[in-house]
């Protein structure tokens, strides 16, 4: 039986971990890329007879990992796969503060992990699979923050706005080639992970929207990582995936 092959970044915790679990439960073959492995995922893979690889990599410098991914995909037998999908999920929040108080190191790290690595891995993926005849997908996990302005969020928001627009451009490129990949930069909703804790733990004096994030949690508006993952994977499975290169899980 042809397998569905997925490459997923940021699988060690938060929504990425839940996406990894759900993909393995479906029997898919999965390659996870994060700074940390999770032994629990090996157990889930074994239980569901799924093939799992976990690469430890720091995506603040993704050039070697992108090259490794290109070589790894080249070694695969394309005919064994029913589809191949890259999910760029890893990201980080810098110190939440006005840009004038942000350090050069924090700006560089956030952009490199959240956007530079995403473009490098996408380039390697599209290059290595260009002759594959199965459906090819790139799902970039974006954020509503890339689409609306919020004080003290300029660095993270720039990452996600950049993600949205590079996705639009590459979607146009892929329309011009045979079996071009479908791409989507998808806002996943608000999910109860370390990122939300980081926002709530920020000094309100540095973050004018602080109270809104406290209320999201208090009023039960946060999705569990499992529910967030399920919504993202349901969007990926839609017939019209990629028709809108920039979308939101809440889109009808
Ligand atoms: N949570 C929300 O409400 C929310 C809302 C909108 C969008 N999003 C987006 O959803 C995605 C998942 O967010 P989350 O809330 O699940 O985040 P999270 O709990 O903070 O997890 C982030 C993941 O990214 C990985 N990561 C961070 N820095 C890395 C690095 N230098 N190299 C490699 N991997 C790195 C982490 O793995 P390691 O630490 O093991 O490296 C971890 O697996 C992100 O793209 C985020 O922007 C989240």
Q: pLDDT tens digits for 200-246?
A: 999 999 999 999 999 999 999 999 999 999 999 999 999 999 999 99
pTM over the 0.85 mark: yes
Provide the pLDDT for residue 124: 98
- CATH code for the domain defined by 3-190+224-247: 3.40.50.720
Ligand 1 site residues, Cβ closer than 6 angstroms: 10-16, 34-36, 58-60, 89-92, 113, 141, 143, 188, 190-191, 193-196
Which position has the token pair 């699979």? 129
Provide the pLDDT for residue 252: 78
Q: What is the Å distance from ligand 1's center to 219 Cα?
A: 23
Q: What is the Å distance from ligand 1's center to 113 Cα?
A: 10
Asked whether the beta carbons of 97 and 106 are under 8 A apart, the reply is no
Domain ranges of the chain: 3-190+224-247
CA-closest candidate to residue 185, choices 131, 127, 145, 239: 145
Provide the pLDDT for residue 32: 98
CA-closest candidate to residue 185, choices 141, 144, 147: 141
- Give the integer Cα–Cα distance in Å for 22 and 233: 9
pLDDT per residue as tens, the chain (252 positions): 779 999 999 999 999 999 999 999 999 999 999 999 999 999 999 999 999 999 999 999 999 999 999 999 999 999 999 999 999 999 999 999 999 999 999 999 999 999 999 999 999 999 999 999 999 999 999 999 999 999 999 999 999 999 999 999 999 999 999 999 999 999 999 999 999 999 999 999 999 999 999 999 999 999 999 999 999 999 999 999 999 999 999 997
- Give the integer Cα–Cα distance in Å for 190 and 231: 11
Which ligand 1 atom is at minimum distance from the Cα of 109? 31
Mutate which of 91, 142, 247 for ligand 1 pocket (most atoms within 8 A of beta carbon): 91
Q: What is the Å distance from ligand 1's center to 249 Cα?
A: 17
172 Cβ contact partners less than 8 Å away, ≥ 6 residues apart: none
Provide the pLDDT for residue 1: 78
CA-closest candidate to residue 94, choices 141, 36, 150, 154: 154
Q: What is the Å distance from ligand 1's center to 89 Cα?
A: 6
Residue-level length of the chain:
252
Q: What is the Å distance from ligand 1's center to 179 Cα?
A: 30
Which position has the token pair 């909703």? 189
């Amino acid at each position: 039986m042809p397998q569905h092959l997925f490459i997923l970044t940021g699988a060690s915790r938060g929504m990425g971990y839940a996406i990894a679990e759900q993909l393995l439960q479906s029997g898919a073959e999965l390659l996870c890329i994060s700074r940390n492995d999770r032994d629990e995922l090996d157990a889930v893979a074994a239980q569901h007879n799924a093939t799992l690889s976990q690469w430890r990599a720091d995506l603040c410098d993704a050039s070697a990992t992108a090259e490794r991914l290109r070589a790894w995909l080249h070694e695969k037998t394309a005919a064994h796969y029913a589809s191949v999908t890259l999910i760029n999920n890893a990201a980080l929040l810098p110190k939440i503060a006005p840009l004038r108080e942000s350090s050069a190191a924090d700006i560089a790290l956030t952009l490199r992990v959240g956007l530079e690595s995403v473009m490098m891995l996408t380039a390697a993926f599209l290059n290595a699979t260009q002759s594959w005849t199965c459906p090819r997908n790139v799902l970039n996990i974006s954020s509503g923050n890339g689409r609306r302005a919020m004080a003290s969020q300029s660095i993270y928001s720039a990452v996600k706005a950049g993600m949205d627009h590079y996705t639009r451009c590459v979607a146009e490129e892929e329309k011009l080639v045979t079996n071009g990949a479908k791409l989507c930069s998808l806002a996943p909703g608000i999910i109860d992970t370390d990122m939300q804790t980081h926002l709530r733990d920020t000094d309100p004096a540095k973050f004018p929207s602080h109270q809104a994030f406290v209320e999201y949690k208090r009023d039960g508006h946060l999705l569990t990582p499992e529910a967030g993952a399920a919504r993202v994977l349901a969007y990926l499975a839609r017939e019209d995936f990629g028709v809108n290169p920039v979308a939101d899980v809440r889109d009808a």
